[in-house]
Amino acid sequence: MKLYLKYASVILRSLMQYKASFVMSTIGQFLVSFTAFLGVYFMFSRFHSVSGFSYCEVLLCFSVLLTSFSLAECFVRGFDTFSVIISNGEFDRIMVRPRNEILQVLASRIEFSRIGRLLQALLMFAYALPSSEVVWSFDKILTLFFMIIGGFGVFSGLFVIYASLCFFTIEGLEFLNIFTDGGREFGRYPFSVYGEGVLKFFTYIVPLALFQYYPFLYLTGRTDRVIYMLLPLIGLLFIVPCLLFWRIGVRHYKSTGS
């Protein structure tokens, strides 16, 4: 952990060398997710509910997802640019240092500019929390917390899979973005909106619904089943097979010629 902070400080120091670029990309990140927010807003100015979910509920759902996604992006984004780390030989460097490879990959790419997106998510939270009709009892707050943690875990797992594939293909596979960036865009609305099939897919295959849809039902009082509140924690287990996959990948690492 201490080492992680050291890395972070080196990255911050490098960033300070390119101040303008940093400020611009932070603003850019903010604007990009702001348009997504506008999308939801305009949608609801025409229709007052989507599949029985009200505007404020959808907003709450979206802000939970965006928070966990931007947290994952901020800290685990190193895996997203992992194909670069492999092809420029940086991974060789990482392998000859006496620390866990995953920690090093994570620490070498901390994306401070994603703070823009995180800020957006927090703003939406500030708006959605009081205006939603949820009574904020202890268990509801806990649920919300679980949802964010669970989301962070699942998105991180997806980034790890994305990266591990680079060991076999050297180049990253863009189609996986369907689950990461796509998950973010889809996840604006509770997954049930998209129908049974999509919901099943996001429950059993890529467990995005485990931290978004089910606990959300509990949060809005549509169900009393406590298990729904705990599902995000089960979703966290998704990271285990992802890490195993990573191990296999490291064994297959071929390095690039020099």
Partner 1 sequence: MIELRNINKTFKIAKRNAGFREAVKVFFHREYTYVNALNDVSFTINDGEMVGYIGPNGAGKSSTIKIMSGILTPDSGECLINGRTPWKDRVNHVREIGVVFGQRSQLWWDVPVADSFELLKDIYKVDSQVFKKNLDELKELLDLAQIIRTPARQLSLGQRMRCEIAAALLHSPRTLFLDEPTIGLDAVSKIAVRSFIKKINSERKTTVILTTHDMQDIEALTERILLIGKGRILLDGTLSDLQKWSFMGASAEEMVAAVYKEFKI
Least separation, in Å, of the C-beta of 93 and partner 1? 5
User: Which of 42, 48, 98, 224 forms a contact with partner 1 (CB under 8 A)?
Assistant: 98
Told to check if 46 binds partner 1 by CB under 8 A, we report no
Degrees to nearest 5, angle at CA 73 with 25 and 130: 90
Residue of 31, 51, 52, 99 interacting with partner 1 (CB under 8 A): 99
Decide: is 247 part of the binding site for partner 1 (CB under 8 A). no
Taking the complex as a whole, how short is the minimal distance between the CB of residue 208 and partner 1, in angstroms? Answer: 32
Q: How far apart are CA 169 and CA 82, in angstroms?
A: 12
Instruction: Give min distance, CB of 13 to partner 1, in A.
Output: 5
Q: 256, 89 in Cβ contact below 8 A? A: yes
Instruction: Tell me the backbone φ, ψ of residue 252, rounded to 5 degrees.
Output: -90, 0
Q: Tell me if 100 contacts partner 1 by CB under 8 A.
A: yes
133, 52, 231, 154 alpha-carbon torsion, rounded to 10°: -100
**Residue 61 or 163: which CB sits closer to partner 1?**
163
Determine if 10 is a binding residue for partner 1 (CB under 8 A). Answer: yes
Candidates 11-19, 26-34, 49-57, 75-83 — which segment interacts with partner 1 by CB under 8 A? 11-19
Q: Tell whether residue 96 is a contact of partner 1 (CB under 8 A).
A: yes
CA atoms of 211 and 5, how far apart (whole Å):
29
92 binds partner 1 (CB under 8 A): yes
* Residue 169 interacting with partner 1 (CB under 8 A): no
Decide if residue 19 touches partner 1 (CB under 8 A): no
Contacts of residue 206, defined as CB under 8 A and 6 or more positions apart, other chains included, come to 154, 158, 179, 183
Question: From the list 19, 46, 48, 251, which residue makes contact with partner 1 (rule: CB under 8 A)?
Answer: 251
Listed residue (119, 112, 111, 191) closest to 154, CA to CA: 191
Would you tell me how many other CB atoms lie within 10 Å of the CB of residue 221? Answer: 11
Q: How big is the site for partner 1, counted in residues (CB under 8 A)? A: 24
Type of residue numbered 211: F
Beta bridge partners of 175: none
Is residue 170 at the binding interface for partner 1, with CB under 8 A as the rule? no
244 sits near partner 1 (criterion: CB under 8 A): no
Report whether 119 contacts 67 (CB < 8 A): no
Task: Provide the β-strand partners of residue 50.
Answer: 53
One residue of 13, 19, 46, 48 binding partner 1 per CB under 8 A: 13
The smaller minimum CB distance to partner 1, of residues 96 and 135, is found at 96
Which H helix or E strand runs over 54? Answer: strand 53-54
Residues engaged in binding partner 1 (CB under 8 A): 2-3, 6-7, 10, 13-14, 17, 89-90, 92-93, 95-100, 251, 253-255, 257-258
